[in-house]
Structure formats: structure tokens, C-alpha cells
Structure 1
């Protein structure tokens, strides 16, 4: 039996955008990283061209934990281009586009698969061949993605990985925080939802996606920066004694 392991990454940045259903002039974002987007990030780290075979990446199990959901923001963009016409050129205004982003979000993502592939992906993230983005080119990460290889399953990683929200958010939370998890179902589990999020090809000329089933659960994670340390202080103890 092939040895398996898991790779965890922390995705944090001023803006992220993980579209799975964008249409026409509206470019939407999911509320958590998409499998197709994260696999694209891994492929970029390895230096794979968009026309490369990605079936080994597609076979990886995928899950994400929402440590800090962020805020949904909308950006209006206009574009003008110059087109050649008889006797010269003219400026053409394109339709106004609406682009959605997640601001100040933090996610822990994990992929599970053959140990040798997981090790290669971790090395690639530490020294990527192509620039890495959080969904779109306008969304660079805030810092290193902190790749870690684990012997445990994806589920165990998402349950045990340290709480990764910002200090400001963590300080407002309790000692134990309940966090949403979206992951690939295990055999026999009933899917919660389905969307076009399995990349068949990243080739710009033949970009294709298939349906992906997901299951939504929750995990409770320890928050060592939580407010429980303040709540435990009893100012009356000095008056009434112990």
C-alpha cells in the first residue's frame, strides 16, 4: 500500500478571490478557497505550464478550515482598449465589471495523497517556480504559506492545526473556537453540496472543470491567545480571600 501523508498551508492576505461560478462581467468569489484554485497554486509552485497534465493533483483529497472568514468586498473595474479601424484607430469602452474579494481572511488548507508527491509539493511551495497568488493575480499572499508535511489524515490535520487567525481576532475569541471545515467526503459520507470545482484542464484554450462534492462540518480548536486568561481573573479575590 502506498504511504500517504498530508500537506498543510496557511492562506492569508489583504485580498483573496476563489471564483467557481463567475459569469460575464461578474467575477464572484467563494467564501473559502476552492480546490481548483489551490491545485492551480500547487501546479504554479512546481512550474507546470497550463497545458500540463494535472491528474495526479486532481486525485489529492482536499479540505479547508476557516480560521478568519474576512469581509466580502466588491470592486468596480472599467477597461478601454484601442482598436484599429479604417483610416486610423478608435477607443472602445468595455462593459463595467464587478469583481468580488475576501478581505483579511485566513484559511488553513490541507491536501492528502501519496507521500512522495506531498513531499515534492512542500518543497515546491518553499521555493516556487512561478509567483503564487490567492486565487487571482491581484491577490498575493501576505507572507510565506508555511508548508508542513504531516503523517496524519487530512481530517486530523484540520482538527489539530494551531489556530491561525490574526492576533486581534484571536484576542476577541474564547479559549476554544468552533471553526467551519469544507472538505472532500470520505467513502460513505453524504455530500452537503456540489459545484464546478474539479479542474480537468487549465489550458486557456480548453479550460474545463467537473463537479466536486463537498461536506461541511465543524471542528473545535484551542485558542491559546483567547480571552479566557482575562476572564479567569477575579478582582474580588483580594477582598474576600481564597
Structure 2
């Protein structure tokens, strides 16, 4: 098994797992459906091609919250493309200035093809909605050793420089991980309806998926190392 890691960073992101009428919310971290959709678009898989979608949906998924961002709300207006009639006012939520590391584990050949597709995508990637383009290249690396847990723990902290600067006093940073549950973890796992079954425009379908949440501590490359201070050092020099 290999693991493909992605960097999901942009001015705005929106990862909706549910929508009720004109209220479109966002989860606090990317959904599996949203990330698989991003990969499917890069690979040129059409919305109604459920057979081509299945191998991607079978990949094991996890995400690390490197920079949680801020939730913002927008009132959205639109007009019908043919009649010009005004559409209902909708309320939409986004994550501003967020950064995530997503990881997918599975067949090495498939992940290698997806990694190449991200470098030359058929359709441009977006972070949950078409109005949310990434600000940095999405692909990070392809790990041939270790598994999903290792990749989410070992990948370098991807937070923005201004955000890392706020945490320079810490040599390590604690980050939240949301990862697809292993078989022995199901009793303590939560569920989310974001397992994609079909992206067909007229009948999108998703199934329940189990995931666990925990924290990892990783090295802070922006840590400011304080010089060691010994309050008795001056006294020792005098006595000498």
C-alpha cells in the first residue's frame, strides 16, 4: 500500500456534508466526498461514471487540521441562466485561511496515477466548491512506506508562515487528525455520511463512513530556540 498526501490551502474552502434548503454549511475539515471529487476531476472522471469512481472511493482517507481557519458566512444571490428570474437568497458558509493535509491510502499504481493527474489536471481542482480555488499546489508527496497513520503524523506542518509565527515559542505543535477507522476502532468511532457512491448531477448518493479523531504532536520548524539560562552561572564565575 502507498499513501498520497495533499495540501488543501486557499483563501476560502467549503466542505459541506449536508445542505438544508437555502442554508449551505461547511464542516470544520475536508470531507472524503469532497477530496475524492477533487481527485476525480483532476483525473478527468465524468460525474456520471460511477464505475470509474469506485476505485477512488475505496481508498482509505484521513485529514490533519494544520490551520483551522475561521468560519465565515455569505449571502448568495443568483439568477436563472435561461429566464433571468431571481433565485432564492441562500446562506453559505466557508472556512477562511484554513490549511489541511489530506491523505489517501491504497493501490500504489492508482495513487501514482492520481499524483500525476494533480500535476496536469483535466479539470482544475477546487476546495469543496468551484468558487474556492487552492492557493498552492495540491499535491504534496507519494509515500511508498508506512501507512495512513504514519503519513498523517510525519508530514511536515503545512500552516501559513504568519500562522506558524504565532507559535514560535513551541518546539512541537499539537494537531487534530480525523482518520477512517480501523476494524478494531469501530466501537469508539463516529459516523459521517460522506462516502461517495455517485456524483451524478441528478442523483448524488453517499453512504455512512466511520472515522476516529485524535491528536498528534509534530515538530515545529519555525520554533524559536531560546538560549539556556542558568541563574547561578554568574555566582559560579565569581567563586572561581
TM-score by length of 2: 0.90
Kept after mapping to 1: 8 A contact 2:115/2:139 = no
1:124 paired with 2:117, answer yes
Map of 1:73 onto structure 2: 72
Kept after mapping to 2: 8 A contact 1:78/1:95 = yes
Seen in structure 2, the aligned counterparts of structure 1 residues 29 and 82 have a Cα distance that, compared at 3 Å, is closer
3-state DSSP of counterpart to 1:165: coil
Q: Which runs of 5+ in 1 are unaligned?
A: 85-90
Decide which moves more: 48-57 or 102-111.
Answer: 48-57
**TM superposition shift of 1:237:** 9.4
Match of 1:27 among 21, 24, 29: 24
Distance 1:113 1:186 in 2: 14
Distance 1:235 1:168 in 2: 32
Kept after mapping to 2: 8 A contact 1:36/1:198 = yes
Distance 1:120 1:79 in 2: 37
Decide which moves more: 105-114 or 232-241.
Answer: 232-241
**TM superposition shift of 1:233:** 6.0
Distance 1:238 1:80 in 2: 74
1:150 paired with 2:143, answer yes
Kept after mapping to 2: 8 A contact 1:172/1:226 = no
Distance 2:235 2:9 in 1: 47
Distance 2:229 2:66 in 1: 30
1:20-61 deviation line (CA, Å, top 9, x unaligned): 011110111010000000000000010010011211011100
**TM superposition shift of 1:240:** 6.5
Kept after mapping to 1: 8 A contact 2:77/2:89 = yes
**TM superposition shift of 1:93:** 3.4
Match of 2:162 among 164, 168, 171: 168
Seen in structure 2, the aligned counterparts of structure 1 residues 5 and 238 have a Cα distance that, compared at 3 Å, is same
**Residue-pair matches, total:** 231
**TM superposition shift of 1:95:** 2.3
**TM superposition shift of 1:239:** 6.4
Kept after mapping to 2: 8 A contact 1:126/1:147 = no
Q: Which runs of 5+ in 2 are unaligned?
A: none
Match of 2:100 among 107, 110, 125: 107
3-state DSSP of counterpart to 2:126: coil
Map of 2:11 onto structure 1: 14
Q: How does 1:221-236 map to 2 (within 5 A)?
A: 221-227=218-224, 229=225, 231-232=226-227, 234=229
TM-score by length of 1: 0.89
Q: How does 1:189-204 map to 2 (within 5 A)?
A: 189-190=185-186, 191-204=188-201
Map of 1:183 onto structure 2: 179
1:76-107 deviation line (CA, Å, top 9, x unaligned): 112344876xxxxxx64332211000000000
Distance 2:57 2:6 in 1: 17
Seen in structure 2, the aligned counterparts of structure 1 residues 21 and 241 have a Cα distance that, compared at 3 Å, is farther
1:97 paired with 2:86, answer no
